[in-house]
A and B are shown apart, each in its own frame.
Chain A
Amino acid sequence: GAVVSQHPSRVICKSGTSVKIECRSLDFQATTMFWYRQFPKKSLMLMATSNEGSKATYEQGVEKDKFLINHASLTLSTLTVTSAHPEDSSFYICSAKTSGNGADTQYFGPGTRLTVL
């Protein structure tokens, strides 16, 4: 149980284009999903908290107009990197929070490696 998927696993795009990353909870409903990014040899940096049916809450320093988050259902959240630039190249990871016992446990998706040329 508690499986989270992400798609795509890897994407290469040209500078200036937009990239959409999907995060799905496969066997549970997730009222809250989180988006992180991780640079090489660094720890995870929380970008935003996504709640189903409401606006995402962004961490300080994260541009909400650049990183668009939509949490349309209890099993799907999307992150769109708009007008991507080489400095946006990173490993983007989503997580989903379960409900019930251990309700604050986060399960991570496999991540999406974005390379912007």
Chain B
Amino acid sequence: QKEVEQNSGPLSVPEGAIASLNCTYSDRVSQSFFWYRQYSGKSPELIMSIYSNGDKEDGRFTAQLNKASQYVSLLIRDSQPSDSATYLCAVSTYGNKLVFGAGTILRVKS
């Protein structure tokens, strides 16, 4: 069974710090990896997608992928209180349906 594991948190970081969110996946042939942000009562919003090993940066967000270790992470630099949300890691294989992790709750304290 394909699984995506995340620490449920909450992860608490002070404003301005770097938040590091981690995710592991079980299906070795997974091709595509996504990070979504979900505010309470709202639907998920795509933050980053990553397909190749290494880092991908977009503004304050950096996604890191290590296929050998089956590990994907999201770094949020200069964390803001508005970043407080649940972050969902999602994995797909050959363009098929997404498998979601349970999400990590992030709290940024001002």
Measured in the bound complex, the distance between the Cα atoms of B103 and A42 in whole Å is: 8
B46 at the A/B interface (Cβ < 8 Å)?
yes
Annotate A20-37 by CB proximity to B: 1 below 8 A, 0 otherwise.
000000000000001000
Residues of B within 8 A of A109 (CB): 43
> How many residues on chain B are close to A (CB under 8 Å)?
22
Measured in the bound complex, the distance between the Cα atoms of B18 and A103 in whole Å is: 31
Q: How large is the interface on A (under 10, 10 to 19, 20 to 34, 35 or more residues)?
A: 10 to 19
Binding site for A on B (CB under 8 A): 31-32, 34, 36, 41-46, 49, 88, 90, 92, 95-98, 100-103
Q: Can you offer 15 A-B residue contacts whose CB atoms are under 8 A?
A: A34-B98, A42-B102, A43-B102, A44-B88, A91-B41, A93-B44, A103-B95, A104-B92, A104-B95, A106-B90, A107-B46, A108-B36, A108-B45, A108-B46, A111-B43
Binding site for B on A (CB under 8 A): 34, 42-44, 46, 49, 91, 93, 97, 102-111
